[in-house]
Every structure is written in C-alpha cells, then in structure tokens.
Amino acid sequence: MFQKTVLDNSIRIITEKNPSRTVSVGIWVDVGSRDEQEANNGCAHFVEHMLFKGTARRSATRIAQELDMLGGMSNAFTSSDTTCFYATVLDDKLYQLMDLLADLFLNSVFDQKEVEREREVVLQEISMVEDTPDDRVHEIFTSQIWGGHPLGHTVLGRREVVAAMDSGMLLDYVERFYTPDKIVIAAAGNLDHGEFCRFWQKALAEFTRSSHNRPQREKPQSLPSVRKVYKKPLEQLHMVLGSYGLPMVSAERYHLYLLNIMLGGNMSSRLFQEVRERHGLAYSVYSYVSSFIDSGYLGIYLGMDPGSANKALELIAREIASLRQGHISKEELANAKDYAKAGVFLAAENMESRMTRIARNELSFGRYIDFDEVVAGFDKVGLDDIVGMAEYVFAKPLFAAAIGPIRTADVAWQPLDMRL
C-alpha cells in the first residue's frame, strides 16, 4: 500500500508497505552534476562522500561501525540529476537506521581535515575511471552529445576542480541545493506510514532552506554529431554510439524501452546475436536508454578488436535500418514485452528496488505509478510504434566516442550517417 505525506516545509515522505521482514529507506535529493558549472563540477558527488565523515554526535569511524552493526546493506550514489543515501535493514532496526540517516543528513560537520582526506579518495576514484576505458568512454560520449551543457559534466568532477574544493565550498553547495522542495524520503517494506512520518516531522521540523539563490536547470539543445577516437595503447577498442532519445516523462517512453530491448537490451537482441554470436566481433555489446526529466539518449556500447570496428559498425547500421524499415515480427515484439514486464515484477521482490522505484516516480512524475499502469503501457505498444520510434531516434547521424589503439581516420564512420 502506497502512502504520501508532504511536511509543512514541503519535504515529501512516501512509503509502500509490504509483508516483509526488511525495510529499505532512502533520502533522495533532486540534485546532481547537471546542477554544477565548470568551476564547481564534482561538488554533488563530494558532498555525498562527506555526509559519512562525521557529525557532532558521531565520528566517521562510529558511523561506519553503526552501519555495520545494523546489518543489511547501506550505500549512497550521485548521478547527473540525483543524489541518494539509503540502507536496507531488518524491520526491528528501522528506527536505529532513521536516527543515523537523519544525523548524517542534517548534522554532518564537513570538517576540513576530513575534506582533505576524502579528497584523496575522490581523486583516486577519478583515476580509477580514467584507467577503466569501458567506463571512461561513456563519460567522453556524454560530453560529446551534450556539449557544453552541464549534463556533459562528469559526475566525479574534473581533477583540478576537486583538488581545490574545501569545506566552505561544499557547505555552500549544500545550502544552495539541499532545499526542502528537492528532498524525498522514501521507504518500502514492513513499516507504519504514520510512525515513519512522525519521526521525520520531528527530525526535520527546523529544516527550512530557501531556494531563491539556486539556478534553474536548462534544457540541453540538440547538436551536430561528433565522432572521435581517443588513441590509447589498449588491446581492445571501446566505443559508444548513440543519438538523442526521449525525456523520461514522455508518453512514448514505452516505445523507446521496447525498441532498446529489441536492439541490444538482452542476449536475444539483434546486436548481441548479430555482432557477438554470429560474427564474433565483440565480447560485450549492448544498448541502453539514458533519460532525464527533459531529455535523453539511446546509446550502444561495444568492446572489440580494433580491426573489427568497421565490420561491427556495418552490422549495427544494418540492424538499425531493419528496425526503421519495419522488419519486425509480432513474436519479436511479444518477447520484448515479456522481458520488460518480467524485469518489472522481478525487481518488485526486492525492497530496495521498490523504494527506488517509488522515489524515482515521485521525483520524475510527482505521483505513484502502479504496476498495472506499467504493464498496460507496454501492452499498448504496436509494431508501428516501434518503427516510428526507430525512425525518430535514428533519423540523424549518430554520435560516436571511442578509446583504443587506432586513429579517428582509421574508422569508416559512413554507416553511422543513417542513410537508408
């Protein structure tokens, strides 16, 4: 059973009660790297780290000990548009967990010595991504497709900016962006909504920051395609291709999700079967959808021998053309729908997934979306809808970013021009 309460300061409390011995709680803030400029890129992610580094009541060591003693699982993450702190515990540990999460969220001190120590951890995280080409190539691709827009920023931040961050800079970011209207506290599992709300009403009674000095998000503009290989002495060539897609709130999002499944979303997809299974050109090949409240893209990743690049691009272009021309069977569409619906219901067995789902729906749609609505959304999609979506996404030349031991001029990019 889903319930929602809006506190006097506009913080939203949402819960979904389920017959489980566990409960998952998350504090979600509608802020991420897209809310940064070049001068403070990485602040949202650094703040996420610092909320675990000490409060007036708890040291960083004590916080780690309590999280371990609660059992279950705890973590945090920052994305382009969201920051989340969450944990899943047995239901009898719920109030201990809430006390801890409230203390971290409201009372972290951002001690300068802790900032200096954690800065080194973040810089190592940046280095790890730079040394992991299948991660780094996605950062390069997003910087190309979004250009100078903040969505093109890396979540971790630029090394030179992170190196200069201090306690004052991070606290200023919290003051400007961690405002009540951006906060959702979500929980799923065995809990009582009324008791849950009473705790947070008391804990957050004096949390009243103004949002008047927070810059508003701007919608990114579509750009001409860019294709580039960043030469690096690797065994494989790592490549991401893609084109603009849909905002996550689009009424046609179900069309895009199913198109993605058929193109490269699972092992029976066209790209996996054609590029990997039939021709053996790549160990890893898949497509994915990345969507935000106002924009999005569909991407294709593949890791391959550099000498296979041109043939792989031909095969990818051929499969995309086939979808645009309507060469889709009723069985293929039915299988994609079954796969999509199975994923929805299997995720529902996990309390963390349920908590995440209701929080994302609240942040994106401002309402609860039940499973029947999702299933109906997939069931309504017809063959013409998939063809229309393929034509919409792939009517323009594709962007491409790659890292590997060849030059940009060594790749025959023409298949990505999307000429039928």
Residues tagged active-site: 48
C-beta separation of 207 from 180 below 8 A: yes
Sign of the Cα torsion 212, 246, 251, 334 reads negative
Amino acid identity of residue 382, one-letter, is: G
First to last CA, the chain: 50
Let me know how many helices (H) and strands (E) the chain has, helices first: 15, 11
**Two structure tokens written together for 416:** 């990505």
Question: How does 351-380 read in b/e, with b if 16+ C-beta sit within 10 Å?
Answer: bbebbbbbbbbbbbeeeebeeeebeebbee
SS3 296: strand
Dihedrals phi, psi of 282, to nearest 5 degrees? -150, 140
What number of other Cβ atoms are within 10 A of residue 308's Cβ? 18
The conformation of residue 234, written as its DSSP 8-state character, comes to -
The conformation of residue 55, written as its DSSP 8-state character, comes to B
